[in-house]
Amino acid sequence: MMTLMVYGSQLFCSVLSESLEVEVLAGKQLCMIQYYKIFSTCRVPALKRDKLVCYPPNKPNAPRHIVVMHNNQVGKHLPALCQSS
């Protein structure tokens, strides 16, 4: 699980700092915004129906942690590498 958290932290930092290499398919660049949305979206429980909420990175109180779930284990991590972003 620790390896998964380390990899997730590195990917999270790359997405926040916009240093992730752009993927290319058939010579065309793909939209990389989906990576950001994966890390900045969460499900907020509600009475009738849950809501998906995306937190923009430019907000001062935007979440800067990741939660890794693997084999019924949950780990919350605050990537120290991203503190400046």
Tokens (6 digits) for 17: 């700092």
Q: Which pLDDT tens digit goes with each residue over 25-72?
A: 899 888 877 777 777 788 888 999 999 988 877 777 776 676 767 788
pLDDT at 85: 43
pLDDT beyond 60 at 81: no
Query: Cα–Cα distances in Å, from 63 out to 23, 45, 73?
Result: 26, 17, 21
Residue 4's pLDDT band, with cuts at 50, 70 and 90, is low
Domain that holds residue 68: 2-82
The confidence score (pLDDT) of residue 13 equals 75
Instruction: Count up the domains in the chain and report the number.
Output: 1
Cβ neighbours for 68, distance < 8 A, ≥ 6 positions apart: 1, 4, 5, 8, 74, 75, 77
